Structure 1
Amino acid sequence: MPVFKVNVKWGKEKFSDVECNTDEPPMVFKAQMFALSGVQPDRQKIMVKGAVVKDDDWGNIKLKDGAMFMMMGSADALPQAPVEKTMFVEDMTDQQLAKALEMPPGLMNLGNTCYMNATVQCLRAIPELREALRKYGGNLSVAGGVSAADSITAALRDLYNSMDKKPGGAIPPMIFIQVLHMAYPQFAEKSEHGGFAQQDANECWTEVVRCLQQEVDVPQELLKESSRSSSRFIDQYLGGEFEVGMKCEEAEGEPESKSTEKFYQLSCFIEKDVKYMQTGLRSRLEEHITKNSPSLGRDAIYKKSSKIKRLPGYLAIQFVRFYYKEKEAINAKILKDVKFTMSLDVYDLCTPELQAKLQPARDKFKELEDKKAEEMIQNKASGKTEEEPAKPTKMEPYSFPDDLGSNNSGFYELQAVLTHKGRSSSSGHYVAWVKKKGDEWYMFDDDNVTCVTAEDVLKLSGGGDWHSAYVLLYGPRVLEVPLEETS
């Protein structure tokens, strides 16, 4: 790999032994110089051997260790042009409009990086994760020397911090993509045209979550003394557990075995008769497999039955839309329309023991809904048309007291959807759709952020070449009760 240690002179300062990888576009090197000097990449002019370094390719520039670069550019903010006339909404660019409306920031596409941008935006929909990352003290290195999990986690923390400080703008996630490429070289694969190749967003999601699982702890002040609670954030807030039973169908006398399996994502298999997400989820929970039977002394058919014994506060669901097509050597896409819902109830997928634990919170939800319905009937009967002033309320905990980050009701609300548009996982385009509040949503199409409705999101169920849901993120449905009813 052509990696060189070079020196960079910037005014009176000199940066020594800066790592430069000519397999990556020069924009990655400029991102390193931004981290060192504070000069934005678009304001850097870098020269070596009399040639100006471009953004997208190194051209004919040949390097060796110890090469001297010259960099020009100011880290100070550029002076703003005076306002000469009133700017009307219809005259604004998309970025100006986003800033005026205080839209959340988008992420620039650095060359087929929409899969990463969509993953980052969807995971940012978990407020507890953002808070835990703020308190993460790990190190970031673009030159190696620390673990992949540490670098990915620190880079995501810094990227979220930048996004929090820049509403309505667009941020180039250069450091994060560089760290991702270093940690997982498969994401740095080049296309036949020389740029980065498109990657699978769910693979990116899985690797990022795995890194977070190793590094991010639950904030200490939230941890309670409990035999169940882990100190790892992902285990507590995104990790669930299956109770798995194995019964041999060829040997009735062989006892059924029981075991526990962890999961960080449920799979919705898209088969011929699957029209709704819940059907696809159930098909995953009962299957037949072949394994060795100790009583028969040979391979036999077993029925594998799974039930959820622990529900996480945030539930990720992957629509298994891609399969390998040998003739074309691609991961082809199943375009079938599979409906999903804004509200999800997974009570029927749980063990009887967990169902019993979920019942008290479910009864509270039903009691509150019945009370609201009764009030509406009474108001209609009395001819009341004006809404009464909103009473002060309190959010009830959505976790069991002894299990931080769990879901204590089985009820969920959709928080984010990661979609794919195209015919294969190695092509097309990925977009994130994230809930704002109520029926209001944001669509994050890289650096283009627009407002959409819940109705628009429900149209992402597939069935054609339009965006189709690939990964869904559900969050806990929180019980909101009047203050006088809280204990």
Structure 2
Amino acid sequence: MPVFTVNVKWGKEIYKAVELSTDEPPEVFKAQLFTLTNVAPERQKVMLKGVVIKDDWGKAKLKNGVTILMMGSAAELPKEPAEKTVFLEDLSESQLVSAMDLSTGLQNLGNTCYMNSTVQLLKTVPELGDALKQFNGQALSNIETDVSGSITASLRDLYSQMEEKKYAEVPPLFLLHLLRKQCPQFAEKNNEGHFMQQDANECIMEVMRILQQNLKSTGKRKDFIDQFFGVDYSVTMKCKDEEAIEEAETKFPESSLQVNCFISQEVKYMMTGIKSKLCEEITKHSPSLGRDAKYQRESKISRLPSYLCIQMVRFFFKEKGNINAKILKDVKFPMTFDMYELCTPELQNKLSPMREKFLAEEERKNEEKAAIKLKGGDALANLKQEKKDVEYERYDFENDPGSSNSGYYELQGIVTHQGRSSSSGHYVAWIKKKGDDWLKCDDDTVSPVKGEDILKLSGGGDWHIAYVLLYGPRRLEIHQPAKTDSTTAETPISMETDTN
């Protein structure tokens, strides 16, 4: 970690041996100067050899003993309040979680951030919480034949404990014990006898497979996970070899619980990475030619789930070092996502009615904003007023509960990885709370962040990089026309949706 000991000159004052870390942004250093000088960070101008330091360290030539110049005047000290202030550090753990409306954190039990981030991500699916509450199994430590049932019960009990918010953090000891019993790869140790870091996406998929065995579907799908996460494809395979003129085109179905975004040099956006593998050229045995030949493989989505889980395929095996190396490339992902163009024509036709409702609602809101502005009102403030008893349209097809009837999604959770290899580094979950408010769930530390912080997780460096993204259904509020009378005009109605 690049840490320097510098001197800071402020007017006639010189502060010696001030520590500065370039791993932290300049805002952190300015906050440190604020404690020394009482000059608020926004009033500071920090310079090093004529270079003004702003949002990053840029071209600043730092070394031990260098003198940094700070300009700015200290603000007047505030008067002591009439009522004693209650500080966050004076609150108990449970009071702190309640006061800040935070989620309960999970203790890291030794390289278990991969499991903690998985638990936090899946907790954002309310239907999963309801299904777990209806599961009647027991979490038993000595069971040998039905470990998956005990894991399901343990996850249910852990979520219940987290929802109570009695503690700022809880230790998921029992779930970890059972998961390592069911999946031996998670019990792997290094040469020093310590449990090794594991892949978070592998953990997500293993937990999903375990839940598949125990949570029943409420519709016609095989199980609950398949009902709410299952993606169906219609695959077409056509031989491109000129000698295989008579070989017929073949079609067959496929399914998955996850959509993959493959990352190459050309991929800059998540949609591009997803499309790259839905239409590709492969080599396989040709029955008509009796040899390998090139085929065009094209996949179209024939069924969309309510919750879309997308993996950014960032790890690849590197023989040198015998590790799963990481692709750090910046790949942008959206807060709202539309899967329409990846669907079969048949599914597109089924999605159209709900999509037309979304379009009509957008037009209605735009007209409402324009009307409010003409009256001299604040359109944004009016549209963002809180409403009680909000009702929403169905987000799934009536004959297929757990599907998506529009193809529109909103981002509700991310698991990021920081590091250069899947067998090392650190995993963190980022969970949408409401609107532009998010939570960073870094094991036992849960802190509030904003949407702009989420968009910075697209990659390009050693910061946290999006690895698994979970999109939930975009909700359409049922519009109730306002009542009118002979003396008053129609009252604008807020149409802000809440994906949580």
TM-score band w.r.t. shorter chain: 0.7 to 0.9
Q: Residue 364 of structure 1 aligns with which residue?
A: 357
TM alignment of 1:389-468, pairs within 5 A? 393-468=390-465
TM alignment of 1:11-160, pairs within 5 A? 87-89=86-88, 97-160=96-159
- Asked if the contact 1:100/1:168 (under 8 Å) is kept, the reply is no
- Asked if the contact 1:393/1:483 (under 8 Å) is kept, the reply is no
Cα offset for 1:393?
4.2
Q: Which amino acid is the alignment partner of residue 192 of structure 1?
A: N
Q: Residue 22 of structure 1 aligns with which residue?
A: none
Give me the whole-angstrom Cα distance separating, in 1, the residues matched to 2:153 and 2:412.
24
Q: Residue 245 of structure 1 aligns with which residue?
A: 236
Q: Residue 485 of structure 2 aligns with which residue?
A: none
Give me the whole-angstrom Cα distance separating, in 2, the residues matched to 1:448 and 1:195.
23
Q: Which amino acid is the alignment partner of residue 181 of structure 2?
A: M
Per-residue Cα deviation, 1:424-467 (whole angstroms, up to 9, x for no partner): 00000000001101011111000000011111111100100000
RMSD in angstroms over aligned alpha carbons?
1.9
Give me the whole-angstrom Cα distance separating, in 2, the residues matched to 1:311 and 1:467.
29
Distance 1:148 1:304, change over 3 A: farther
- Asked if the contact 1:420/1:468 (under 8 Å) is kept, the reply is yes
Q: Residue 255 of structure 1 aligns with which residue?
A: 248
TM-score (norm 1): 0.77
Q: Which amino acid is the alignment partner of residue 382 of structure 2?
A: E
- Asked if the contact 2:96/2:168 (under 8 Å) is kept, the reply is no
TM-score (norm 2): 0.75
Cα offset for 1:143?
1.6
Give me the whole-angstrom Cα distance separating, in 1, the residues matched to 2:462 and 2:290.
50
Per-residue Cα deviation, 1:28-79 (whole angstroms, up to 9, x for no partner): xxxxxxxxxxxxxxxxxxxxxxxxxxxxxxxxxxxxxxxxxxxxxxxxxxxx
Q: Does 1:288 align with 2:287?
A: no
Give me the whole-angstrom Cα distance separating, in 2, the residues matched to 1:164 and 1:378.
43
Q: Residue 270 of structure 1 aligns with which residue?
A: 263
Give me the whole-angstrom Cα distance separating, in 2, the residues matched to 1:364 and 1:113.
44
Q: Which amino acid is the alignment partner of residue 101 of structure 1?
A: M
Q: Which amino acid is the alignment partner of residue 295 of structure 2?
A: Y
- Asked if the contact 1:240/1:264 (under 8 Å) is kept, the reply is yes
Per-residue Cα deviation, 1:316-345 (whole angstroms, up to 9, x for no partner): 000000000101000000000000010000
Cα offset for 1:365?
0.1
TM alignment of 1:88-237, pairs within 5 A? 88-89=87-88, 97-166=96-165, 169-218=168-217, 223=218, 229-230=220-221, 232-237=223-228
- Asked if the contact 1:310/1:354 (under 8 Å) is kept, the reply is yes
Question: Which residues of structure 2 form unaligned runs of 5+?
Answer: 1-83, 483-500
Q: Residue 72 of structure 1 aligns with which residue?
A: none
Give me the whole-angstrom Cα distance separating, in 1, the residues matched to 2:115 and 2:193.
19
Per-residue Cα deviation, 1:453-486 (whole angstroms, up to 9, x for no partner): 111111100100000000000000011122359x
Distance 1:301 1:398, change over 3 A: same
Give me the whole-angstrom Cα distance separating, in 2, the residues matched to 1:390 and 1:90.
31
Q: Residue 37 of structure 2 aligns with which residue?
A: none
Give me the whole-angstrom Cα distance separating, in 1, the residues matched to 2:118 and 2:311.
13
Distance 1:325 1:94, change over 3 A: farther
- Asked if the contact 1:104/1:167 (under 8 Å) is kept, the reply is no
Q: After the TM superposition, which of the residue ranges 292-301 and 269-278 deviates more from structure 2?
A: 292-301
Give me the whole-angstrom Cα distance separating, in 2, the residues matched to 1:413 and 1:210.
24
Give me the whole-angstrom Cα distance separating, in 2, the residues matched to 1:136 and 1:94.
30
Per-residue Cα deviation, 1:161-216 (whole angstroms, up to 9, x for no partner): 11122255200000000001100111011123322110110111110011111211
Q: Does 1:481 align with 2:482?
A: no
Residue correspondences, number: 393
Cα offset for 1:137?
1.5
Question: Which residues of structure 1 form unaligned runs of 5+?
Answer: 1-84
Give me the whole-angstrom Cα distance separating, in 2, the residues matched to 1:433 and 1:125.
10
Cα offset for 1:253?
2.5
Give me the whole-angstrom Cα distance separating, in 1, the residues matched to 2:122 and 2:151.
14
